[in-house]
Amino acid sequence: MNPLIDTLILVAVAAAVVLVFWGVNFLLGPRSSGVVKETPFETGQVPLTPPGHRLTVRFYLIAILFVVFDVELIFLFPWAVVFNKLGLFGLIEMLAFIGVLFIGLFYAWKRGALEWE
């Protein structure tokens, strides 16, 4: 009952499920093609611009903020598990760490990184 082997078997089963979904759909589904049919859907009219032009910069800001906070989150997990063994040192260290996090969040907030018009 090695967890790693169990995980591998589960991965195989899940992959098999996905393959069955695809396979059955390709076997049973009809096929046809046409110029109009293959045009990307855009409320029934011919698409004016191809996608991938410009997106609002907010999305990139959110992505960067996510990376920052998610990395901080990874540091919090081991600390939370061994909190009882660390004692006062662990508490104060992490209070300082979360304090820095708060300052960072507050800074991003005040600079308008979290505003959506």
Question: What's at 17, amino acid-wise?
Answer: V
Could you tell me the smallest distance in angstroms from the CB atom of residue 64 to another protein? 10
Q: How many CB atoms lie within 10 A of CB 61?
A: 16
Minimal distance, residue 103 CB to another protein, in Å = 11
Torsion angle of C-alpha atoms 77, 66, 97, 104, degrees rounded to 10: -170
Q: Which residues bind another protein (CB under 8 A)?
A: 1, 3, 6-7, 9-11, 13-15, 17-18, 21-22, 24-26, 28-33, 37-42, 47, 49-52, 55, 58-59, 62-63, 65-66, 69-70, 73, 76-77, 80-84, 87-88, 91, 94-95, 98, 101-102, 105, 109, 114-117
- Residue 71, Cα to own-chain centre: how many angstroms? 13
